[in-house]
Amino acid sequence: MVQSAVADDVFYALSNSTRRKVLEQLAVGPATVSELAAPFDMKLPSFVQHLSVLEQSRLVKSKKEGRVRTYEIVPDRFRVAEDWLSARRQLWEARLDRFDQYVKQLKEKE
Amino acid sequence: MNTMSEQFTINPKLDFAIERFIDAPTRLVWDALTKPEHIKEWYMPRAWGRVSRTELDARPGGIFRIDIALPNGQEVPNLGCVLEVVPMERLVWTAMLFPGYRPAVFDDIPITAIMTMEQEGSGTRYVFTALHRNEADLQANKASGFYQGTEIAIDQFVEHVMAMK
């Protein structure tokens, strides 16, 4: 998959508060579907759709033992979002630095 | 050319099909079925919620994504993979796969949806079919309101196509 499609999947997965809360919970440690669903007032089929979206983005992975599916976070995948954001930040910081420099030059000319 | 009957068989114990005659050209029916700006108008029963996001990349392996917003503010995603596209004839997608044919991980009830259309006089014969894994899945989809919701959505679909004329 091309990089921009990967970023689409990751940012889409992050775009929903239910899914972000699931990621916050998984940051603490692996959890089962019913543990993850417990804080939400949501029917299970709707809730597991969110887990599907997270799994598809590969921000999480799961394994099934017997009838119990357990989710855990995939930290590496968060770099897709992080890298994109930090590239934007570097660009803006460089731009601000140059602006700073320019204002200093103007000041010196006065 | 293969006919659809060679490719799949409806088993009434596992599947359901909903058929409508739409008094509109097949071209409009196809557009209403495949274009995001139309899908959002009919896909969700209006009394139950609304479509908050639609992506349909109408080619094999393409993404099928329709998010539903419920009145209580919850959002429910639907994600699948397009399998077959024959313009103005049929569209097939499944929730058994993630986009790009990647084997999906899920704990809910997956369906494969087959939508066919055929010109009939000046109108169009339209059939929506949902294939299920087993009888329990079909019963669960009937009990949960999925079947009823699909019927309402198809009525909204017909209404929307008529308004496009």
Cα–Cα distance between A62 and A58 in angstroms, integer? 10
* C-alpha of B21 from chain center: 16
**Is the per-residue pLDDT at A1 higher than 60?**
no
How large is the average pLDDT for residues A56-75? 95
Model confidence, pTM = 0.86
Does the CB of A101 have a partner CB in chain B at under 8 Å?
no
Pick the residue of A32, A46, A52, A61 with the most B CBs within 10 A to test the interface with B by mutation: A52
Instruction: Look up the ipTM and state it.
Output: 0.81
Q: Say if the Cβ atoms of B74 and A46 lie within 8 Å.
A: yes
More confident position, B140 or B106: B140
Which pLDDT band holds residue A5 (cuts at 50, 70, 90)? confident
Select the residue of B78, B99, B144 nearest A49 (Cβ to Cβ): B78
Select the residue of B79, B100, B109 nearest A45 (Cβ to Cβ): B109
| Residues of the domain holding A52 | 3-109
Overall domain count for chain A: 1
pLDDT of residue B3: 54
- Domain B14-164 in CATH 3.40.50.10800? The answer is no
How large is the average pLDDT for residues B21-35? 98
Does the CB of B107 have a partner CB in chain A at under 8 Å?
yes
In angstroms, what is the C-alpha Rg of chain B?
A: 15
Q: Work out the percent of chain B whose per-residue pLDDT is above 90.
A: 91
Select the residue of B74, B102, B108 nearest A48 (Cβ to Cβ): B108
Cα–Cα distance between B155 and A4 in angstroms, integer? 38
Q: Are B23 and B125 in contact (CB under 8 A)?
A: no
CATH no. for residue A29? 1.10.10.10
How large is the average pLDDT for residues B99-106? 93
More confident position, A43 or B83: B83
User: Where do the structural domains in chain B lie, given as residue ranges?
Assistant: 14-164
Burial degree of A63 (CB within 10 A; 0-12, 13-18, 19+) = exposed
Minimal CA separation from B18 to chain A, in Å: 23
Interacting residues of B119 by C-beta distance below 8 A, sequence separation 6+: B25, B26, B125
pLDDT of residue B107: 85
Interacting residues of B13 by C-beta distance below 8 A, sequence separation 6+: B135, B138
Pick the residue of B53, B57, B106 with the most A CBs within 10 A to test the interface with A by mutation: B106
Give whole-number Cα distances, B92 to A76, A86, B80, B122, in Å: 34, 40, 10, 25
